[in-house]
Structure 1
Amino acid sequence: MAENTPTQANEEIDLGVLFDKIKSLVKSVLKGIVNVVQFFWKHKFRLIIVGVIGIAVGLYLAKTAEKIYLNELLIEPNYKSTQYVYDKVNAINKKIESADTIYLQDVFGVNYKKVKGLEIEPVVDVYGLVSESEEIQETFKVLFVENGNTSFFEEDINKINYTQHKIRILVEGEDDNEIISSQFFDYINSNLFYQKQSDVIYKRIEEQLEENELMRKQIDSVIAYVQKKPNSQLTQQGISFSASQEVSELINRKRALFASDFDLLDRLAKEKNVVALVDKTTAIMDRSYNFSFRIIPVVFVLFYCLVFLTKHLVRKLSVYA
């Protein structure tokens, strides 16, 4: 019993000290809150004046400052040029950071100084990507089992596999957005390597269209000849038909040629350029790319409070010194 008495006394002393510290902390917090309220009440007129000045400055800057406008290009890279487009966008951004005026003028023209940056991202089309081939389907099945979700669809490694991509051009000011966007699009289409590929494929498609047209004319002439002489046999330019063949078979072949023409014409329209332009929207006012001047009054008030807090701390330190 005698041994427990000092221990209990020490515990009571420790609890007493703890409660005293808690009381002191609560008093300090309450005192600080009261001081803050007193400060704002004492300086209320000055704070109102500072806030009004901040509002006036914010309104003035909002009207006079040049805003950033967004220009969006929806594109489809051809001839496996997706990586080229991404690399080109990254290179241009680095040139903007380093202020390479000669290079930027070649890309955007005389208004290059207005361009503040480029952004590019794929248009994530999971169904379109997976349905391209059985090999891709099997690959993504394995990835889905390993990851347990579809987050890998948005990883950088898959960006070149998507058909469409979105490029954003950030331009200062509302003027010349259309010109800048057009000159940038012409620039990324000026790659000689891909242009040569485009010329070769374009020529082959035109030759195939001419061949399809010739085949249809031959089919028409054969059908007309067979209808006139049903028991005859015709061999022309490597194509052999006899009366025993049904006319419907020839018509189906002609339809297949028209379907082939449709696909070829679609390729001509899309693959005329290295990068096909699907859609373009210029001079979009997007607040997320612009500084909000509404925060200026708050900054002015906080700066006023910071000045008085600094003076208060200096006085405290001088007393202790």
Structure 2
Amino acid sequence: MNENSRNKNNEEIDIGDLFRLVKKGFEKLGNLLLRFIGFLLRNAIVLIILIIIGAVAGYFLQKKASNVVKTEMIVASDFGSAEYLFKSVKELQYKLKIKDKATIEKLGLEGTKASISLAVKPIIDLDELTREEENYLELLNESDFLEKEEKEGLMKKISRFYEIILYHPHDLDSRKLLKNVIEILRDNDYYRKVYALNSKKIDFLIKADESLISQMDSLMVNYSNSLKNTPLNSSTIYNTNSALDLGVMIGNRRSVVEELDGLYKKKVANEELFRLVDLGYPSEIEEKSITSYKIILIPFLLVLAYFGLIIFVRVVQKAKKLDR
């Protein structure tokens, strides 16, 4: 009985201590809340002024930002020109930032004070990828040891089409500007020679395949005519070797036609460096980040900076007292 009563008393003491700790916690939390409310009341005028200033500044900045739209252009790339494309767009973006006079003149932006920026990203078409490229892309997405920038750099190598994005004011002739941009990007002697030689090679292969298909068609027509003029004799009509030759020829012709179709596509895509696939029209910027809501963000940052300043002053004052 004595042991049971002792255990009961201990449990009652533990529960009582727990309630007292919870009560003290709520009291401290209430005191902190009251002190915070008191702080807001003491600094209400300053905080209200900061919020008004931030809201007005954010309104005008957000209104200015809303005038910015984007125009997209899709280009084809080959012969390892993807790295050159990204490098050239990055350099062009820097020259626009520093207002390089020669670049401004080439782009036809004389007298334009508005902010303009460029970006480029690869377009991955899964239907156009080979099996090897699909496995490479899947392995790349699943890997955890590569940084995001490293992954993007490797993805450039398997893409054949790229999207150049121009961010600009809505009243700017963006299509004309993008045409000037592509002319600047094509100004490369090395790739100009590469594409010229490749064009000659493709033309030669196209003529060769077209001639081969024409010869095959003539042979098959002559063979068909010879069968018509041959008497109905099973030994000649169903000659094993002749039938086999005809089947092989039809299969070879199909292969040549497929190869020719691929050459026609290459001729169109590789006619010049960064062959223009599509030149779009201005459209609204849909990707909005937290910085897009400046009318809320700027007042919040000003109030936060004011709190930080007060904390810093308090810390400095306490540090001076400790030195004494």
- Give 1:227 deviation, angstroms: 3.0
Correspondence for 1:118? 118
Q: How far, CA to CA, are the matches of 2:147 and 2:271 in structure 1?
A: 29
Specify the code of the residue in structure 1 equivalent to 2:174.
N
Specify the code of the residue in structure 2 equivalent to 1:258.
V
- Give 1:37 deviation, angstroms: 1.5
- Give 1:131 deviation, angstroms: 0.5
Q: How far, CA to CA, are the matches of 1:129 and 1:220 in structure 2?
A: 32
**Alignment TM-score, normalising by the size of structure 2:** 0.62
Q: 2:185 aligns with which of 184, 188, 191?
A: 188
Paired residue secondary structure (2:69): strand
Residues 251-302 of structure 1, C-alpha deviation per residue, up to 9 Å, x if partnerless? 3333222212211111112212212445555444243375623223335656
Correspondence for 1:295? 297
The answer on whether the counterparts of 2:115 and 2:168 sit within 8 Å (CA) in structure 1 is yes
**1:153-302 matches, cutoff 5 A:** 155=150, 158-164=154-160, 166-174=162-170, 175-230=172-227, 245-246=242-243, 247-278=246-277, 282-285=282-285, 286-288=287-289, 290=292, 292-299=294-301
Paired residue secondary structure (1:37): helix
Specify the code of the residue in structure 2 equivalent to 1:149.
S
Residues 12-58 of structure 1, C-alpha deviation per residue, up to 9 Å, x if partnerless? xxxxxxxxxxxxxxx99987754442242356577557645644453
Percent identical residues = 18
What 5-or-longer segments of structure 1 have no aligned partner? 1-26, 233-241
Q: How far, CA to CA, are the matches of 2:228 and 2:130 in structure 1?
A: 52
Specify the code of the residue in structure 2 equivalent to 1:207.
F
Q: How far, CA to CA, are the matches of 2:205 and 2:54 in structure 1?
A: 70
The answer on whether the counterparts of 1:114 and 1:173 sit within 8 Å (CA) in structure 2 is yes
Answer with 266-275 or 110-119: which moved more.
110-119
The answer on whether the counterparts of 1:73 and 1:280 sit within 8 Å (CA) in structure 2 is yes
Correspondence for 1:41? 41
Correspondence for 1:88? 88
The answer on whether the counterparts of 2:108 and 2:177 sit within 8 Å (CA) in structure 1 is yes
**Aligned pairs, how many?**
272
Q: How far, CA to CA, are the matches of 1:214 and 1:277 in structure 2?
A: 30
CA 1:279–1:56: 2 relative to 1, 3 Å: same
Paired residue secondary structure (1:110): coil
Specify the code of the residue in structure 2 equivalent to 1:62.
Q
Q: How far, CA to CA, are the matches of 2:216 and 2:193 in structure 1?
A: 35
- Give 1:231 deviation, angstroms: 11
Q: 2:143 aligns with which of 146, 149, 154?
A: 149
- Give 1:65 deviation, angstroms: 5.3
CA 1:149–1:50: 2 relative to 1, 3 Å: closer
CA 1:224–1:277: 2 relative to 1, 3 Å: same
Specify the code of the residue in structure 2 equivalent to 1:63.
K
- Give 1:216 deviation, angstroms: 2.5
Q: Which structure's residues are more often strand, by fraction?
A: 1
CA 1:88–1:66: 2 relative to 1, 3 Å: same
Residues 214-237 of structure 1, C-alpha deviation per residue, up to 9 Å, x if partnerless? 2232223222323333599xxxxx
- Give 1:191 deviation, angstroms: 2.2
Q: How far, CA to CA, are the matches of 1:206 and 1:296 in structure 2?
A: 60
The answer on whether the counterparts of 1:74 and 1:164 sit within 8 Å (CA) in structure 2 is no
- Give 1:113 deviation, angstroms: 5.3
Specify the code of the residue in structure 2 equivalent to 1:102.
A
Correspondence for 1:59? 59
CA 1:228–1:305: 2 relative to 1, 3 Å: closer
The answer on whether the counterparts of 2:118 and 2:166 sit within 8 Å (CA) in structure 1 is yes
Paired residue secondary structure (1:131): helix
Specify the code of the residue in structure 1 equivalent to 2:69.
Y
CA RMSD of aligned residues (A): 4.6
